[in-house]
Amino acid sequence: MWRCRKKRSWRCCALTEVHGEPRSLYVHIPFCASKCFYCDFNSYVTPPAVRRAYVEQLNRELTLVRDEYFGVHNRPPLDTVFFGGGTPTMLDAAEWRLVAERIHELFELSSGAEWTVEANPGTAELNMLRQLCGLGVNRISFGVQTLSDMLLQAIGRQHTAADALRSLDTAARAGFTRVSLDVMLGLPDQTQADVADTLERAVDSGVRHVSAYSLKIEEHTPFAEWERRGWLQLPSEDAEADMYEWVRARLAQAGMRQYEISNFSAPGEEARHNLVYWRNEPYLAAGAGAHGYVAGRRYRNIRSLIGYGQRLSAGVRPLEEVVRVPATEAMEDTMMLGLRLAEGVSAGRFEARHGRTLGSVFGGIVDGLVQRGLLGVDGRRVWIPPAHYAVANEVFAEFVGALSDEGFPAVGS
């Protein structure tokens, strides 16, 4: 058990590093109706019986996770829950009831807790969405990607633009007030006009949160192979940068603040679960291939459904790997993740977490980046000015391995 037995606290794993208690839970549902051509997320196309067996294993894992970190008699509080995929909306009503009831039995959802479910347009019918609301889900995130039918087909999606718009409407009718949608930029043959049309219609739908992701060509996907063969007409870097600028301007005009490099929301509509990741805070995770971060250790579950199920049938957690994050690396992570946020990295939060001031650890790097105009500082926080989001990777690169390279004494390792 990683929680300190003697002190019964979460503080003992490093001398000065403070690990808060995890109050967030990620649950992975690794099923899809088909595989999109660009996607390397851990998801499988399976018969329904596999899903039912998975939900049973998942419930076992959730119990083991609660028992290990909090003890069998406790019902720890959660502030955020996120069901991602894959396609969580491929679970049927009975499966949803099973897993949601287990979560309520094991954990106490704090008042105002955020519970998000990722959904594919076209797989979210009114009855199912009503059921999700009844089970405590209060935020839904649709993978719309684009509202061009031609592009949807070209990236291997099953839904049409009409399905996507209908799903947004269905979610509202089911009672969801917090609806988000994902769009993708830089798709093969995508033009600025396609992006403009998608955003225009998204804004018209009244949605109050948008995630805009640049297409990443992932190894071992059809897109990776097609790119190697020269079959994909990808927009140029400049064209893609223009799409991104256009999205930023249009969503700002619609009253959505860019609170993270790829995320925009109306005030108060930020994804609280994702803020936990960007602030480098701890979280629990369950499901095949899921990653968690507890008491200074990152863990990764077995990806394959068979391996995952076998471990749980034997009554053990399906861990593939557990690594302790050295204190120096945790500080680098705090910078790289936090600088994705418009709020940047708070100096106070950095010191409270790592037991060192941000200036004493990263002063040299920060000063260099400020001189190049790539960072802003005001004594309380450090941030990337939005005009430089397009080159944010250059900024992150300065922090990768920075402490070990400089021979910085590893704190508490």
Contact positions vs ligand SAM (CB under 6 A): 38-39, 41, 84-85, 87, 118, 120, 143, 145, 182, 184, 213, 215-216, 218
Question: Which residues in 328-387 contact ligand SF4 (CB under 6 A)?
Answer: none
Round to whole Å and give the CA distance between 413 and 264. Answer: 38
Given ligand SF4, ligand SAM, none, residue 35, with its beta carbon under 5 to 8 Å by kind, binds ligand SF4
Pick one of ligand SF4, ligand SAM, none as the site partner of residue 292 (Cβ within 5 to 8 A by kind). Answer: none
Closest CA to 365 of 410, 317, 332, 407: 332
88 binds ligand SF4 (CB under 6 A): no
* Residue 398, number of CB atoms within 10 A of its CB: 21
Q: Which is nearer to ligand SAM, 34 or 357 (CB)?
A: 34
Q: Which is nearer to ligand SAM, 60 or 208 (CB)?
A: 208
Residue of 187, 168, 161 whose CA lies nearest to 244: 187
Give yes or no for residue 39 binding ligand SF4 (CB under 6 A). Answer: yes
What is the spatial distance between Cα 175 and Cα 240, in angstroms, rounded to a whole number? 36
Binding-residue total with ligand SF4 (CB under 6 A): 11
30 binds ligand SF4 (CB under 6 A): no
Closest CA to 136 of 163, 105, 165, 167: 105
CB under 5 to 8 A by kind: which of ligand SAM, ligand SF4, none does 341 bind?
none
Ramachandran bin of 99, using left for φ above 0, alpha for ψ from -120 to 50, beta for the remaining angles: alpha
The residue (of 41 and 396) whose beta carbon lies closer to ligand SAM is 41
At closest approach, how far in Å is the CB of 33 from ligand SF4?
Answer: 7
Given the complex with ligand SAM, which of 2 and 41 has the nearer CB atom? 41
Least Å from the CB of residue 93 to ligand SF4: 20
Interface with ligand SF4, residue 36, by CB under 6 A: yes
Burial-class residue 328 by CB neighbours within 10 Å (0-12, 13-18, 19+): buried
Q: Do residues 93 and 132 make contact, with C-beta atoms less than 8 angstroms apart?
A: no
Site for ligand SF4 in 60-79 (CB under 6 A): none
Residue 143 interacting with ligand SF4 (CB under 6 A)? yes
| Smallest separation (angstroms) from ligand SAM to the CB of 202 | 13
Task: Check binding of 121 to ligand SF4 (CB under 6 A).
Answer: no
Name the residues that contact ligand SF4, by CB under 6 A: 32, 35-36, 39, 41, 43, 85-87, 120, 143
